Amino acid sequence: NAGVTQTPKFQVLKTGQSMTLQCAQDMNHNSMYWYRQDPGMGLRLIYYSASEGTTDKGEVPNGYNVSRLNKREFSLRLESAAPSQTSVYFCASRTTGAPYGYGYTFGSGTRLTVV
Amino acid sequence: AQSVTQPDIHITVSEGASLELRCNYSYGATPYLFWYVQSPGQGLQLLLKYFSGDTLVQGIKGFEAEFKRSQSSFNLRKPSVHWSDAAEYFCAVGSSSGGYQKVTFGTGTKLQVIP
pLDDT in tens, B86-105: 999 999 998 877 666 788 99
- Model confidence band, residue B31 (pLDDT cutoffs 50, 70, 90): confident
Alpha-carbon distance of B115 to B44, in angstroms, equals 25
Residue type, B27: Y
**Who among B41, B45, B90 is closest to A42 (CB)?**
B90
Alpha-carbon distance of A95 to A101, in angstroms, equals 6
Contact between chains at B46 and A104 (C-beta distance less than 8 A): yes
CB-based contacts of B94, cutoff 8 Å, min separation 6: A99, A100, B31, B32, B33, B34, B100, B102, B103, B104
How far is the first Cα of chain A from the last one, in angstroms, to the nearest whole number?
Answer: 35
Residue type, B31: P
pLDDT number for residue B95: 82
A92-106, B10-24, B53-67: which has the highest mean pLDDT?
Answer: B10-24
pLDDT number for residue B87: 97
Residue type, B5: T
pLDDT number for residue A1: 62
Chain B nearest CA to A44, separation (Å): 7
pLDDT above 90 coverage of chain B, percent: 76
B56-73 average pLDDT score: 94
